[in-house]
Structure 1
Amino acid sequence: MTIDRRTLLGSSALALLASTLPGRGAARTLSDAPNLLIGTGGDGHTYPGPTLPFGMVQLGPDTDVERWATCSGYHHGDGSIMGFSHTHLSGTGIGDMLDVMLMPGTGLVQLEPGPLSDPDAGYRQRFSDERAEPGLYRVALESGVRAELTVTERTGWHRYTFPNGAGHVLLDLSHLIGDAPGAAPLIDEVSVAIDGDGTITGGRRVFRWAKGRRIHFALQASRRPDRVSFFGDSDVAQPAGTRQVAGKRLKMVLHWDDAGATPIVLRCAISGVDVAGARANLASEARDWNFDAVVHAARAKWAKALDAVRVTGGSADQRAILATALYHAQLAPTLFSDIDGRYAGLDGHVHTVPAGGAAYSSWSLWDTYRALHPLLTLIDPARTKSLIDDLIRQTTQSRYGPLVWPLQGKETGTMIGWHGVVPLAEAQAKGVPADYAAAWPAIAKRSFDFTAPDRNNSRGRELYDRLGYVPADGVDESVSRTQEYAYDDWASSHIARAAGASEAADRLLRRSGNWKNVIDTGTGFARPRFADGSWWSPYDPIQLGHTSQYRDYTEANGWQATFLNQHDIYGRIAHGGGDAAFAAKLDALFSAPSTLPANAPPDISGLVGQYAHGNEPDQHAAYLYAYVGQPWKTQRLVRRLCTEMYRNDPDGIIGNDDCGQMSAWFVFSALGFYPVDPIEAAYVFGSPLFERADVRLGDKRLVIEAPGNRADTPYVAAVAWNGAPWSKSWIDHRTLAGGGTLRFTMSATPNPRFGEARADRPPSFGHPA
């Protein structure tokens, strides 16, 4: 199944993609095309199937559902495909989705997929000649069927070219992550029916990650099947003439006696609301059977999206990595409103967005607030406006208030904190117009009403408010909770201020300093603290928890959590003993032995010393040197991370891509700057990877120049903005987003004087250095 990169990049399909890209300054070559297999191996958890930017349908192949490696349903290196489903998660650490799976075949109909280890035991098939590109996926199955997939926003399109003779397509509505045959069912309601005109409709309710989510579909075939077969629970065949069936594990088979006569096109729309919504989506987005026209339209949309950032210089691999990262950073959040604007709300009711609006799902906010949403504020301000409006609406509708990790109309409550407030505060700080005051009552309830409905993500709020920290002897992940609740307080204070709630804003601002109550000045580490005020002792910063029952950190240990604070960085530096002590602690982070305890989760990966690039808590840490006047260390480390943690291979993302966060980190860092605190609306300089980048900022343009930049020139000797010298080691959002030319003079040796002066250091907590 392995595809050679030269074959991929040289395909006529990608040549067409490249040809549709507008000419805007920096030239684009075929080597700049995304390699959609990046992240599909290792623990990247991405998928290679087609979707549109932020589209509702993510159509693609599924190879396995039983391993953590296949949270997306696909893993590079698996030798067989189970089928092609219409929804996937990109880069998450928990699996779900894989709705409405179709599998073409010939010969005897099999109703169970069989194990990955024995593809001949079921309907799964070995495959070859796999090709993946933005808007199109194709593969040759061992049955002789060539499968091609493409999409509109809400509709998945399949074109199956069968060999001569009979063939069939299986619709398996029991397919999902982690529900092997014989396991306790995670689906409690399924229905499927066929209408007189041949339209197949149905839906199911799933209790996997998003408990009780519903998905509905409407499916049509370009050629009426000669017959159909329905199978109920336990694969019991239904009587001839059956037109509909209900149960928990349903399947249906479409049979054609001469399937090989002409290619068979199937088009399938989905809806989170009802079958009527799926029918309307299908009617709106599938008006003919022209598969190639849909492919062309999908390519054109991706061409525009990928044209947001264009580069020259670097290596061919680095340009492919950047293009792929830009692609992955425009997959989620995913569209969740039907063509008529209806969507399933977090309150269990159906709502309708205002004209021109949209509702979204797959909000991986614990991850994406850090870099993905800041990236979108630059390259897609219109999308940012749409996302912010939806965040506000869903915040008011959720019984839990600020969003945590909503998935298809259900709040999963995954991870800690209520980080839906961060993109709101960031957008407000950057001048994105929205009704922020409308979100304030729900945010206030989460912040101050300790009797409000709770989830695991906000445990210990009352203790955090009363003691100033979450105590380790009662609440797990107490250290990380304290720090992340403090950051959410910082964000919420901005929304309170915008809503005119000045007293609440002041209280939140004071409480956002609670981070210091879990930083032990004696050891310099973020350390578990008990309700009586004592610290866990003896303390070992590589450990995850003070007992086997409690972890004190969220997907991190004491080393990584010590640098978790993204706001009030100068307060953190002072609390740790000043510039020299803080710089020494950062040096120790990146040079400590890369030792982890046996119970460390796989999320803690990509180690440089004890810094873990494969997960989010300390991904900003390399940029913190700028706050102590040593940005040359940032430059050296960022260049190293860009070149060591990302590769042009299936396992080329060092950890889960987390709905584009890992990819967005690369895009920012490759351009030469990063938003350490998105709410501060400032970007700290790092080390640009390319000689030139041309960035589309809505209707404006940013040019980033680093002439002569090479692998051995990671250091910034000087910076200029629009031709004038720029002594600061950062730049504010308003200036950058206004467009212009940012020029870096690169060097093989550091310039310790650049950014050293206190007046040139980045702002934090609303204050300069």
Structure 2
Amino acid sequence: MLTRRALLATTATVAVTPLPSFAATPRRAAPNLFVGTGGDGHTYPGATLPFGMVQLSPDTDVARWDTCSGYHHGDGSIMGFSHTHLSGTGIGDMLDVLVVPTRGPLQLQPGPIDNPDAGYRQRYSDEHAEPGYYRVTLESGVRAELTVTERTGWHRYTFPKGAGHILIDMAHMILDKWDSGPLIDDGSLTLHADGTLTGSRRVHRWAKGRRIHFAMQLSRKPDRVAFYGDDDAEQPKGATSVAAKRVKAVLFFDDAGAAPIVIRCGISAVDVAGARANLQAEAARGDFDTIRRAAARRWAGTLGAVSVEGGTADQRTIMASALYHTMVAPTLFSDVDGRYVGLDRQVHTVPTGQRAYSTYSLWDTYRALHPLLTIVAPDRAKSLVDDLIRQTQQSPYGPLVWPLQGVETGTMMGWHGVSVLAEAHAKGIPADYAAAWPAIAKRSFDFSAPDLDNSKGRDLYDAKGYVPADKWFESVSRTQEYAYDDWASSKLARVAGAEAEAERLLKRSGNWRNVIDASIGFARPRFADGSWWKDYDPIQLGHMPKPWWRDYTEANGWQATFLNQHDVYGLIAHIGGDAKFEAKLDALFTAPSTLPKNAPPDISGLVGQYAHGNEPDQHVAYLYAFVGAPWKTQKMVRRLLTEMYKNDPDGVIGNDDCGQMSAWFVMSSLGFYPVDPVEALYVFGSPLFERATLALPGGKKLIVEAPGNTAITPYVTAVTWNGRPWTKSWIAHADLVKGGTLRFTMSATPNPAFGRAPADRPPSFGRTLA
């Protein structure tokens, strides 16, 4: 089963300073790019632009789950600097085109992390990162600086006086003890007459069969170039190219320290010509410092979408860091000429003015990251929606799951691209949603259509109303996630005029009931004959040993019980009504925080059996509002905001998952959260700051005020919207994006009357209790 568990199972001086362009607005904190690089956050500190194609960052290791991003804070050495990275994922890949500036004897292998002297690894110091720029001093004395445009990486290496060399390692990649077969089966490097070095490789790691191509130019001509093939076999003297599986090139400089060496490198997933075109379009003019300043301005404008006042200095930095991490993925995937590799493995061209993207961690990001973008970056949300529709049409599997670099990995359960589309339509983002419907219909109803792990058992789900636990692994989560996607797809079916199919999907979206045993009030594995798992313990993840895997996806019975996001009132009734459901929520947060030995480390950040470090339950604290007890939501949300995030490398309690953990913090610290994104509304929680200002299109602003808000005032006693009393415990997206002032009155004691009336509770499944 392919889940985010990686197919893998020093202390540097960290200096983080504000962007120069922020100097005029001292209340705006600068992001700390090292937040999430320690612990299990799996982020990287290097240079990228908002949603950019290039992520130019240092790599410290490739063989541990800790280093899915290639970097882990606290590792004592750096292998080099590669051009592509994943942010916060639980599976590793990428790390393309490693550049290693160094001195001394030539070494072609990195060596082990516990013995940097045995290879080209280098210890380091004076590490510094800010949006769009990274700097470090290597033990060879080389000062390395990195910056980027969207599709090119810029390196500036300042060597000490004397000889030095730069290794280009195309064999560098994430490794895994379970890998078999050639992980790279095609590689090449060529030095052209104009001095440009180009290269390509095909990689079979997570996104199996993906290709990467590059074109690189240097500010100084090397005195000698050597090429190496498989087993580090040196090519004949004077060779200008090499073709093998694992290729390398070394650029030698007799006096590397004579002047800084600047490298400009364009990349493309299409071909070398695309990489050359990207390089020419984005790096033909300007110098390193000009590019760095442009990157800083770009980030200042993007991060300026949200500013906050109040809270602590650390909380403001956490907010800026979280916002930054919500703006690095999905990543640009189309070249300057609009070409990209579709999920059918064919080369396509986007319409003029549009873009293709990769790195959609949809099982995670549909929950809060995409909803956040509809508020703070609606133009980007529109661009992503257009791309999702186009790639849904092109994929042999229909709605997107977890596409990476032109490959549908099928990671995690369901096909949650439909949630992002249905949400965008509900929020009025214009797009050709009907164009995606045929592919969605095929995924929903054609059980002979090709499957990946994420969609197994659809036929049984349709026929029986659930996926039997004796037929397919992770059956409980499958049933619930398929039901949510049916809910979202029913909305898109209506857009396409497919009313009968919409009704079928709507009815089928109630299948979640069939894996929640009302007699015990828990999500429970169910077998093909209709019986339940008898020796049931909600702490356990499964009823059978490997290789059957588990009954839940990165969850157990406790956590899966509350997975339902779209029919909350149906779930409340199924559990036994408001009082029983509220008590069940209380029990979730107060149960012993014990897990079985086979629990994946994704289940982290425990409060009772609630796991904040993983996505399935990240909406659950907000469910109290649906039983008229939003004060309990307020209490728990404030606790999670203050306990689960820190201004430190291990400041994210679990994998950041392409910004979802960060998006939860941003949304929740503003005081509201999308329990069901398709419903296009937000449930109130507990704002963290005294004032937040969100820049909206057309010069409008959304201001969220909580005067006098402090650590001891987590409770909301009253709300006003544009000066008028607001008794509801929620607000619609359509209201917020008009702009205005949302004002919370905060208190150290709760107001149980606020939001208690049925008419003031949030809608769910298109229904209200009014």
Place the TM-score, normalised by the shorter chain, in its bin: over 0.9
Match of 2:3 in 1: none
How far off is 1:179 after superposition? 6.1
Cα-to-partner distance string for 1:501-536 (whole Å, 9 max, x where unaligned): 000000000000000111101110010011111110
Asked if 2 retains the 8 angstrom alpha-carbon contact of 1:475 and 1:550, the reply is no
Distance change (3 Å), C-alpha of 1:140 and 1:679? same
Query: How many angstroms apart in 2 are the aligned matches of 1:468 and 1:532?
Result: 12
Find out whether 1:313 has 2:317 as its counterpart: no
Amino acid paired to 1:564: L
TM-score using structure 1 length: 0.97
Query: How many angstroms apart in 2 are the aligned matches of 1:182 and 1:691?
Result: 51
Query: How many angstroms apart in 1 are the aligned matches of 2:473 and 2:11?
Result: 43
Match of 1:732 in 2: 732
Query: How many angstroms apart in 2 are the aligned matches of 1:103 and 1:367?
Result: 34
Amino acid paired to 1:624: L
Amino acid paired to 1:18: F
Match of 2:417 in 1: 420
**Which residues in structure 2 correspond to 1:316-355 (within 5 Å)?**
316-355=313-352
SS in 1 for 2:256: coil
Find out whether 1:162 has 2:156 as its counterpart: no
Find out whether 1:615 has 2:606 as its counterpart: no
Cα-to-partner distance string for 1:46-94 (whole Å, 9 max, x where unaligned): 0000100000000000000000000000000000000000000000000
Among 248, 251, 254, the residue aligned to 1:251: 248
Distance change (3 Å), C-alpha of 1:179 and 1:763? closer
Among 239, 242, 245, the residue aligned to 1:242: 239
Amino acid paired to 1:304: G
Match of 2:666 in 1: 667
Match of 1:16 in 2: 20
Amino acid paired to 1:41: G
Among 204, 207, 212, the residue aligned to 2:209: 212
Find out whether 1:543 has 2:547 as its counterpart: no
Find out whether 1:231 has 2:228 as its counterpart: yes
Match of 2:715 in 1: 715
How far off is 1:290 after superposition? 0.5
Query: How many angstroms apart in 2 are the aligned matches of 1:17 and 1:579?
Result: 51
Find out whether 1:136 has 2:144 as its counterpart: no
Query: How many angstroms apart in 1 are the aligned matches of 2:107 and 2:427?
Result: 56
SS in 2 for 1:617: helix
Distance change (3 Å), C-alpha of 1:712 and 1:181? closer
**Which residues in structure 2 correspond to 1:561-710 (within 5 Å)?**
561-699=560-698, 700-710=700-710
Amino acid paired to 1:161: T
Among 459, 477, 483, the residue aligned to 1:486: 483
Amino acid paired to 1:645: M
Match of 1:430 in 2: 427
Match of 2:117 in 1: 120
How far off is 1:28 after superposition? 2.2
Asked if 2 retains the 8 angstrom alpha-carbon contact of 1:203 and 1:216, the reply is yes
Distance change (3 Å), C-alpha of 1:340 and 1:54? same
Cα-to-partner distance string for 1:416-449 (whole Å, 9 max, x where unaligned): 1011111000000000000000000000000000
Match of 2:46 in 1: 49
Asked if 2 retains the 8 angstrom alpha-carbon contact of 1:623 and 1:684, the reply is yes
Match of 1:468 in 2: 465
Among 519, 522, 529, the residue aligned to 1:525: 522
How far off is 1:550 after superposition? 3.7
RMSD: 1.2
Asked if 2 retains the 8 angstrom alpha-carbon contact of 1:39 and 1:650, the reply is yes
Find out whether 1:187 has 2:184 as its counterpart: yes
Asked if 1 retains the 8 angstrom alpha-carbon contact of 2:11 and 2:76, the reply is no
Query: How many angstroms apart in 2 are the aligned matches of 1:486 and 1:541?
Result: 21
Cα-to-partner distance string for 1:558-591 (whole Å, 9 max, x where unaligned): 0000000001111111111100010000000000
Find out whether 1:75 has 2:83 as its counterpart: no
SS in 2 for 1:157: strand
Match of 1:85 in 2: 82
Asked if 2 retains the 8 angstrom alpha-carbon contact of 1:3 and 1:131, the reply is no
SS in 2 for 1:211: coil
How far off is 1:258 after superposition? 1.1
Query: How many angstroms apart in 2 are the aligned matches of 1:180 and 1:467?
Result: 39
Query: How many angstroms apart in 1 are the aligned matches of 2:21 and 2:605?
Result: 33
Query: How many angstroms apart in 1 are the aligned matches of 2:177 and 2:609?
Result: 38
Gaps of 5+ in 1: none
Amino acid paired to 1:249: R
How far off is 1:181 after superposition? 14
Asked if 2 retains the 8 angstrom alpha-carbon contact of 1:468 and 1:514, the reply is yes
How far off is 1:348 after superposition? 1.4
Distance change (3 Å), C-alpha of 1:741 and 1:534? same
Query: How many angstroms apart in 2 are the aligned matches of 1:669 and 1:182?
Result: 39
How far off is 1:310 after superposition? 0.2
Asked if 1 retains the 8 angstrom alpha-carbon contact of 2:135 and 2:146, the reply is yes
Query: How many angstroms apart in 1 are the aligned matches of 2:160 and 2:539?
Result: 58
Distance change (3 Å), C-alpha of 1:182 and 1:162? farther
How far off is 1:287 after superposition? 1.6
Asked if 2 retains the 8 angstrom alpha-carbon contact of 1:265 and 1:289, the reply is no
Amino acid paired to 1:722: N
Asked if 2 retains the 8 angstrom alpha-carbon contact of 1:378 and 1:698, the reply is no
Amino acid paired to 1:362: T
SS in 1 for 2:257: coil
Distance change (3 Å), C-alpha of 1:736 and 1:313? same
How far off is 1:17 after superposition? 3.7
Cα-to-partner distance string for 1:197-226 (whole Å, 9 max, x where unaligned): 100001000000000000000000000111
Asked if 2 retains the 8 angstrom alpha-carbon contact of 1:718 and 1:727, the reply is yes
Report the count of equivalent residues.
757
Query: How many angstroms apart in 1 are the aligned matches of 2:649 and 2:429?
Result: 37
Query: How many angstroms apart in 2 are the aligned matches of 1:182 and 1:754?
Result: 55
Cα-to-partner distance string for 1:162-200 (whole Å, 9 max, x where unaligned): 000111100000000006999753000001000001000
Match of 1:283 in 2: 280
Match of 2:6 in 1: none
Match of 1:752 in 2: 752
Asked if 1 retains the 8 angstrom alpha-carbon contact of 2:77 and 2:121, the reply is yes
Query: How many angstroms apart in 2 are the aligned matches of 1:447 and 1:639?
Result: 39
Amino acid paired to 1:750: P
How far off is 1:15 after superposition? 4.7
Amino acid paired to 2:16: L
Query: How many angstroms apart in 2 are the aligned matches of 1:113 and 1:179?
Result: 16
Distance change (3 Å), C-alpha of 1:550 and 1:185? closer
SS in 2 for 1:683: strand
Asked if 2 retains the 8 angstrom alpha-carbon contact of 1:179 and 1:186, the reply is no
SS in 2 for 1:565: coil
Amino acid paired to 2:335: D
Cα-to-partner distance string for 1:378-398 (whole Å, 9 max, x where unaligned): 000000010000000000000
Match of 1:765 in 2: 765
Asked if 1 retains the 8 angstrom alpha-carbon contact of 2:11 and 2:75, the reply is no
Query: How many angstroms apart in 1 are the aligned matches of 2:104 and 2:153?
Result: 25
Asked if 1 retains the 8 angstrom alpha-carbon contact of 2:644 and 2:652, the reply is yes
Stretch of structure 1 that moved more, 283-292 or 710-719: 283-292
How far off is 1:539 after superposition? 1.1
Query: How many angstroms apart in 2 are the aligned matches of 1:444 and 1:534?
Result: 31
Gaps of 5+ in 2: 1-9
Cα-to-partner distance string for 1:594-649 (whole Å, 9 max, x where unaligned): 01000000000000000000000011000000000000000000000000000000
Query: How many angstroms apart in 2 are the aligned matches of 1:368 and 1:248?
Result: 35
Asked if 1 retains the 8 angstrom alpha-carbon contact of 2:475 and 2:525, the reply is yes
Match of 2:5 in 1: none
Asked if 1 retains the 8 angstrom alpha-carbon contact of 2:13 and 2:125, the reply is no
Find out whether 1:513 has 2:517 as its counterpart: no
Distance change (3 Å), C-alpha of 1:146 and 1:445? same
